[in-house]
Amino acid sequence: MDLYMDPETLAQILGFSIGVLYGESFSELDFKVKYVSQWFKNRSLFWQWIIASILDTQHHFQYGLALMLTVQLVTLHPILALMLYYMGLGLVVSDLKDYEYVIARLGLRETPKP
């Protein structure tokens, strides 16, 4: 019985898991800055709006898509390219729920129910 996975499958699993875990960490930091941080609460409404807007426009959803695209345009070892592509996919997947809240916060649709 062969217990080893092929390198392509390992690269996909590793890349996707790294992307999801990085994405969740970014989401946690974003949440803590905007909703928990006393530093943020002490800023004027103008600066709270600026900071929240910057955080909302710098979501890892876009970085994941950019990584997925870039990997297809540069020459890398196929296993590394596969891992980075799936890392980008993990970033995209982990940010989908946050994207709903941003769209709701901007008044483009109702706030999603938990």
Determine, yes or no, domain membership for 60: yes
Joined together, the tokens standing for residue 102 give 């941003």
Q: How far apart are CA 1 and CA 27, in angstroms?
A: 41
Residue 34 is given by DSSP the state I
Number of domains in the chain: 1
**pLDDT confidence of residue 79:** 95
Determine, yes or no, domain membership for 4: no
Q: For tokens 């994941």, name the residue.
A: 64
Q: Per residue in 34-86, pLDDT tens?
A: 889 999 999 999 999 999 888 877 778 888 999 999 999 999 999 999 999 99
Residue 24 belongs to domain spanning: 11-105
Cα of first residue to Cα of last residue in the chain, in angstroms, is 45
Task: Using alpha carbons, select from 58, 87, 57, 59 the residue that is nearest to residue 71.
Answer: 87
Determine, yes or no, domain membership for 74: yes
Q: Are 40 and 33 in contact (CB under 8 A)?
A: yes
Determine, yes or no, domain membership for 3: no
Determine, yes or no, domain membership for 98: yes
Q: Per residue in 90-112, pLDDT tens?
A: 999 998 877 777 777 777 776 55
